[in-house]
Amino acid sequence: MLTFRVDVFAWIPQADVPNPIHSLPGGVARWGPGACGPRFGGDGFVTPPATHAGWTRPSYRAKQTLAFKIQRFGARPDADAGTAVVPGLTTVLTGPRSAGGRVCTSLTPTVTRSQASARWMDSDEWYEMRLQGAAHDPIPEAALKFFSGGAGSTVGSALTPDLEWDLTIRIQLDKEIRSRLTKLRYGVADVMNLDVSEQLTAPQNFGGTANLVHGLAYVRRFPSYVVYVSVSGDGRAPACLPVYFADASRRSLGEIIVGQSDLIRQLAW
């Protein structure tokens, strides 16, 4: 039996970022606890853990997992439960962490999209795993709800940009991608690729050389994202490798409104 797994994590690499609610007139009395400090707490690290097992809440903004098992290649995938997007924790700080800022309130991010599927693509002879997730900062939504009730909450949610991913991970026998359309699509996505996963210290294959993992990752330009693929079973040593890493440590919070589709790192298994 073979098991394949995909994990995606989104996190804020900066120690903290601006909280625009704090600067609005009226402070906490008008906007609620979300206005208690000028900074949102970030996660404060740039390089992700080597594998998905290295992550613990609340060191991420959101995550999602999809895994499936097969008795033989080409058989219907038996997908595991538990594919929903899992939110982390949003905190508001009384000041920058570097100046001793402390947490004055916290809320769970709002999940706005959560879908996952695994299927055998007979025409292409590969498994296609799809993970789609989105979540956003709950503070503006909570502030407008505090100010004007349910209608304000709806407006706040609609106006708050999501962190987002839309992943297509393909697992095939053989190392050659035969679909010309797929190769063309990959070529376009590779032009301004955010992926820097090859800079991470990790093996360059899953312990094999004959077969291929490939695909696409759509993400927002902020925050950071990492995608891991794991392969195990059939007597092989379990392997988990990062196939995509978008480092937002030198980008600003405002870039969360911009999305792009990238080629993931193609690795043999």
Per-domain residue ranges of the chain: 2-11+46-87+109-268
Model pLDDT for residues 136-194, shown as the tens digit of each residue: 989 888 887 776 665 444 544 445 789 999 999 999 999 999 999 999 999 999 989 99
Per-residue CA distances from 155 to 20, 41, 124, 141, 178 (Å): 16, 24, 44, 7, 47
Please return the burial class of 137, using the count of CB atoms within 10 Å of its CB with bins 0-12, 13-18 and 19+. Answer: buried
The encoded tokens of residue 146 equal 């505090």
User: pLDDT (tens digit, 0 to 9) for every residue of the chain, 269 residues total?
Assistant: 999 999 999 999 999 999 999 999 999 999 999 999 999 999 999 999 999 999 998 899 999 999 999 999 999 999 998 999 999 999 999 999 999 999 999 999 999 999 999 999 999 999 999 999 999 989 888 887 776 665 444 544 445 789 999 999 999 999 999 999 999 999 999 989 999 999 998 888 999 999 999 999 999 999 999 999 999 998 889 999 999 999 999 999 899 999 999 999 999 99
Model pLDDT for residues 221-231, shown as the tens digit of each residue: 999 999 999 99
